[in-house]
Amino acid sequence: MFADRPLYSLDILIWILIIPFFLALYEDLKTVNPMFSLLAISFGFIGIVLFFSNNIVFSMLSLSNQYAAATNDAQKSILISSGTSMLSIFNGTGNELEVIFMPFSTLIFSIIMIKSENYNRLTGILGIIVNVGNLLYLIPIVGNIIMGIVALPTLLWYGLIAVRFYHISTQKAS
């Protein structure tokens, strides 16, 4: 039952947290390459807008609650049909575009990182690898395997960026 799985809505919190992440990356990298930094953050925000405009978590939660309260098979059948329709909307063009815009955004930021003196080359190279891997998600069957392979390196990449942000915050505090 969807209502019994609150982690489905955790992705919304993660996407909200991506907003300050992109703003911080942009602020840190805009002096290295202003045009591509602006392009990267624009792609990122387009991806975020696409995510929220296509997100069905709350609609599915409502349908799940209605299904749990349904008293006969006819009501349940209608709700199952509604849920199936919602899933087909979610798996449509907007979701596929979001899957393209987000890795392109972070790929551009990663390329800029290589040219920046503020990041070590490993951060930029790792970002390129994981974001190319994320773009390959669109390849049927193989894409899911690639996403599984780049999942841990993606966390490492975010960790390296977090270390950079920590250094920035301690330098400004001094």
Q: What is the rounded average pLDDT for all residues in the chain?
A: 88
Predicted pLDDT of residue 12: 78
Check residues 109 and 168 and name the one with the higher pLDDT: 109
Residue 69 DSSP code = H
Backbone angles phi, psi at 120, to 5 degrees: -80, 160
Tell me the pLDDT tens digit for each residue of 100-143: 999 999 999 999 999 999 899 999 999 999 999 999 988 888 88
Helix (H, G, I), strand (E, B) or coil at 140: coil
Is residue 96 pLDDT above 90, yes or no?
no
Tell me the pLDDT tens digit for each residue of 22-46: 999 999 999 999 999 999 999 999 9
Predicted pLDDT of residue 9: 65
Give the relative orientation of helices 142-173 and 121-135 as an angle to the nearest 10 degrees: 150
Cα gap 107→127, rounded to integer Å: 6
Task: Give the residue from 134, 137, 148 showing the smallest Cα distance to 104.
Answer: 134
Cα gap 130→172, rounded to integer Å: 30
Predicted pLDDT of residue 2: 52
Is residue 83 pLDDT above 80, yes or no?
yes
Predicted pLDDT of residue 109: 98
Is residue 57 pLDDT above 80, yes or no?
no
Would you place residue 6 in the very low, low, confident or very high pLDDT band (cuts 50, 70, 90)? low
Share of the chain above pLDDT 70, in %: 93
Is residue 173 pLDDT above 90, yes or no?
no
Cα gap 92→95, rounded to integer Å: 6
